[in-house]
Amino acid sequence: MKTHSFFAWAALGCAVTGCGALAQDVALHVLRTGGGDPLSSGSVVVAPFPATGAATLEFEFGFGTEESPTPGELHDSFTASLESGSGAAVFVVTTDVFGSQWVPSNPGGPELSASSVSSSTILPPIIVAPAGLVGAYRVRVELPEAFRAQPLTLHFDLFDNGDSLASVGFYNNVVSVPEPPMVAVAALGAALLASASWRRRAVRRVPLS
The 10s digit of each residue's pLDDT in 20-69 is 333 468 899 999 999 999 999 999 999 999 888 889 999 999 999 999 99
Q: What is the pTM of this model?
A: 0.76
The answer to whether the beta carbons of residues 135 and 96 sit under 8 Å apart is no
Q: How far is CA 171 from CA 23, 36, 78, 92, in A?
A: 13, 21, 10, 13
Distance CA 101, CA 91 (A): 10
List the chain domain ranges: 3-194
74-113 as b/e: b if 16+ CB within 10 A: ebbbbbbbbbbeeeebbbbbbbbbbebbbbbebeeeeebe
Handedness of CA 163, 39, 134, 34 (dihedral sign): negative
pLDDT tens digits, residue range 191-201? 444 433 433 44
Confidence of residue 154 (pLDDT cuts 50, 70, 90): very high
